[in-house]
Amino acid sequence: MPTIYLSPSTQEWNPYVGGGNEEYYMNLIADAMVPYLRSSGIRFTRNTPDMTAASSIRQSNEGKYDLHVALHSNAAPEDEAGQRQGAEVYYYPNSVRGKRAADIIAENLKEIYPLPWLVKTVPTTSLGEVSKTRAPAVLIEFAYHDNPEDADWIRHNIPEIAANVVKSLTEYFDIPFVEAQPPRRGIVTVSSGWLNIRKKPSLQAPVIARAWNGNPITVLGQWEGWYVVDYFGHIGYADSRYIRIRKI
């Protein structure tokens, strides 16, 4: 299953009109993304507020990630303060995968941003979180936090924004988007042999692990007739008919 580096802004010095700051609201979005990431089977490593963009890039480059996802909000130049609106998704121009991720994210943001014609993708070589990461990367500027309407849109739509971004990630990774669900404990129940844990929810998908009858298994989410499962660190899909949910 895919693994991302999740990098909400660490810029607490960027104030929102009406209160709060960029670091605070981007971490709220990251918090709200976590249940959707988990239920959809996307692993993640996340930076912390005491880090910087530079230390986030270093940590990202020390691991092996399928995508680096930076969460930010924007501000207009001083002479246009409060006058701009829109969402921008940045990517490195030579990165085919970064551009594809940016295109998907921007297209889906148009579904929830109130002025969809102001949502765009932007190639850049000047932002370190897309130009200096080993993994393909996107940096999302969700809206302009110095604009009252944009700041309020972020402030009042955090769950919708989080779900929308994770939906885009599942589209990018070609896996189902699974609504946020609390993890459940399960038991493998096969009459003989083992239960295959697969890379995708298909009987033709590669097998990444085998779970034996009676073994405990964690159910992270459910999609059609499949469970998204964590079996001793192996995250994949298993036929739900062969897992019994344990009552807590």
d(CA 86, CA 151): 11
- CA 37: distance to chain centroid? 6
**Sheet hosting strand 67-74, strand order edge to edge:** 43-46, 3-8, 67-74, 137-144, 87-91, 119-123
CATH class held by domain 3-173: alpha beta
At a CB cut-off of 8 Å and minimum separation 6, what does 169 contact? 2, 4, 37, 40, 42, 67, 69, 101
Identify the pLDDT of residue 236: 97
pLDDT beneath 50, residues of the chain: none
Same fold, 3-173 and 184-245: no
What pLDDT sits at residue 192?
Answer: 86
Domain boundaries 184-245, corresponding CATH code: 2.30.30.40
Give residue limits of the domains in the chain. 3-173, 184-245
pLDDT of residue 159: 98
Q: What is the pLDDT of residues 15-41, one digit of tens each?
A: 999 999 999 999 999 999 999 999 999
pLDDT recorded at residue 164: 98
